[in-house]
Structure formats: structure tokens, C-alpha cells
Amino acid sequence: MFVDQAKIFVQAGNGGNGCVSFRREKFIPHGGPDGGDGGKGGDVLLVVSSSMKTLLDFSRQPHYRAQNGAHGSGNNRSGKAGSDLILKVPRGTFVYKEDELICDLVNEGQSLIVACGGRGGRGNAKFKSRSERLPRFAEEGEAGERTTLRLELKLIAQVGLLGYPNAGKSTLLSAISSARPKIADYPFTTLVPNLGVVQLAEGESFVVADIPGLIADAHKGKGLGDKFLRHIERTEVLVHLVDIQGYEGASPFDNYIATNKELKAFNPKLLKKPQIVVANKMDTPSASTKLRTFRSRIKKKVYPISALTREGIKELLYAIGRKLKK
């Protein structure tokens, strides 16, 4: 199951209490205080791991607590520090605290302390002084930090595929990469984003994200809504796939305009990204005639392809590569 949002509660470990103790041994006069300090509580950390793909685990288990520090003991023995709690998150995780973005975790191994463990209390040995020879008190350990975090995943991809349902995005992704998304002849086959790696040449590759199809008024909750659009906010280039046969009676041009309106409604900055327009399903009847009409109305370069027969795909991939280099 793909989960890209989660809310969790984390609590760092409490510090151990300091110890009140006095050295009393036979044949050793003037023993004095020897209470040790409490150990520090464990921290809670988020660490980026490529083995994690979604936030599913956090949605199932939202509460986390690090280990407390051990109490101090006699003979000046300090308590053991509590173990840190390490929570693995996928690359591209945004971390919010009280609706404020505190970190964007993108690099493998990157870590963030989200709750600090409490300091251990001092034992009575630390309070011995000229004026206080036999201190009969010690400090309690400090409480560990506790907080509620909101995690939001935005996939790491250089190219984003977008368009109406059944435009052929999943078919194209399977044709250009080893990804195997679900493909069928009915709308909203893709229910979650899919990633694929495209190998252009030796040492030259890029990652493509295929998001579920958009329809008019998706920002109002129609269809699958716009809840997956966040996954193309990081992309450098958008590939706008248009079914040259149209969708449910609407023309390819109308679908193209409607999709861009949804992008603007979600985040106007998305329209500033380089966008490559692709006319798919050129293997269908009267596709050439409809392509000429579409080109005359859009008045920009359109790449005609057939994701099914792979016609025109190589030219499209090289065009994407050139855009990424720019």
C-alpha cells in the first residue's frame, strides 16, 4: 500500500535521576558522598533510507518513544545513557512540526534529531563543597522532549508524467523503463504514483514519476483529486501526455487546457516548469488528422508517439534528455 502522509507522536527518553549515597566502609574514615549521576535519555532521530518507499509503517504505528536513561548509583557510578530511537524514512520526506516545515530529508543517510533526550540528574557527590560537606540531595533527571510531527512524502524524480486518465502514461512508463505499473483499458487504472528509471545512454539516465490521471475540477476532489500532484513538485521537466482521440467526448485540446488549469489551481509554480507536450495513440484511426488540428490550436511543438507500438518514443526521450541538460 502506498501511503504518502502520516502523523506521528515521538517522545525522547527521560534522563535518569542522580543518586544520594555515602561511602561507608570499614577502616576508611571520612567516607563522604558518592552518589553518581543519572544517564541521559535517548534521542529520537529520523534517518533517510533507500529501503523505505512509503510512510505506511508510520500510519500503522503512530507512537514512538526512546529509552530512558538509567539512574545513578553509589560509588560514583553514573547511570547508562538511554539508547537513541532511529526511525527510517524514505527519500523525499518533508517533516513538519506544528505546520512549520523543519526539514526536507532527501539524501541517503541524512538524519534529523526531532526530540532530544532529557539530561541526567547530578548525584549528591557533585554538590559537595566547603559549606556543604554531606549533601543529602540529588537532581532528578530532565524529561525528554515530546512532539507531534507530520510527515509528507514527495517522490524524487526528474521527470513527471501527467495527463487525463487513459492517456497512456502507464503504458509509456512500461515502454521506457523496467517499471511494471498496472495497465488496463479503463480510466483510473493508476491509483498511486509509480517510478521508473530511463537509461538513455552509457552513464546517462533519469527517473520518471507517473501520477494518477487528472480530470477537470480535480482540485475540488473529483476523480482521485489532486492529492498526488505533490509528487511532481520536485521534478525538473513535465511530460504532458494527451490522448489524440480525446477523453469522454472532449477534444485533445480541451483536455490539455483542463489539465494545465488543475496544475495552476494546485500550485501556479508548476506551470513555470518546462513542459513537453506529447500526442499519444498515433496508431489509432484518423490520428494524423486530429494531430494537425491539435497542433494548429496549441501552437507549440508536439511529439507524436504510440506508447503501444513504441513509435516516436526514441525522439521523445532524447528531447527530454536535452531539456534536463538545460
Q: Where are the beta strands (DSSP E) in 224-311?
A: 237-243, 275-280, 302-304
Q: Residue 254 pLDDT > 70, yes or no?
A: yes
CATH T-level fold of 5-153? Spo0b-associated Gtp-binding Protein; Chain: A, (2.70.210)
- What Cα–Cα distance (Å) separates residue 13 from each residue in 8, 82, 87, 135, 325? 16, 7, 15, 27, 48
Answer yes or no: are the C-beta atoms of 21 and 124 closer than 8 Å: yes
Q: Residue 2 pLDDT > 90, yes or no?
A: no
SS3 93: strand
Cα-Cα-Cα-Cα dihedral sign, residues 48, 49, 55, 56: negative
- Tens of pLDDT, residue by residue over 295-319, are 999 988 999 999 989 999 999 999 9
Q: How many CA atoms lie less than 13 Å away from 62 in the CB half-sphere?
A: 11
Report field, pTM of the whole predicted structure over 0.85: no
Q: Residue 58 pLDDT > 50, yes or no?
A: yes
Average pLDDT of the chain to the nearest whole number:
89
pLDDT band at 184 (very low <50, low <70, confident <90, very high): low
CATH class of 159-325: alpha beta
- pLDDT at residue number 4: 86
For residue 283, what is the DSSP state? T
- pLDDT at residue number 209: 87
Q: How many CA atoms lie less than 13 Å away from 90 in the CB half-sphere?
A: 19
pLDDT band at 238 (very low <50, low <70, confident <90, very high): very high
* Strand order, beta sheet including 93-97: 63-65, 5-11, 146-153, 93-97, 100-105
- Tens of pLDDT, residue by residue over 59-112, are 999 999 999 999 999 999 999 999 999 999 999 999 999 889 999 999 999 999
- Tens of pLDDT, residue by residue over 241-252, are 999 998 888 899
Length, in residues, of the chain: 326
Q: Residue 225 pLDDT > 50, yes or no?
A: yes
Identify the CA nearest to 123 among candidates 136, 114, 133, 111. Answer: 136
- pLDDT at residue number 186: 46
Q: Residue 174 pLDDT > 60, yes or no?
A: yes
- pLDDT at residue number 25: 79
Identify the CA nearest to 322 among candidates 274, 270, 279, 256. Answer: 274
Q: Residue 294 pLDDT > 90, yes or no?
A: yes
Domains 5-153 and 159-325 share a fold: no
Domain boundaries, given as residue ranges, for the chain: 5-153, 159-325
Per-residue pLDDT averaged across 12-35, rounded?
Answer: 88
Q: Residue 116 pLDDT > 80, yes or no?
A: yes
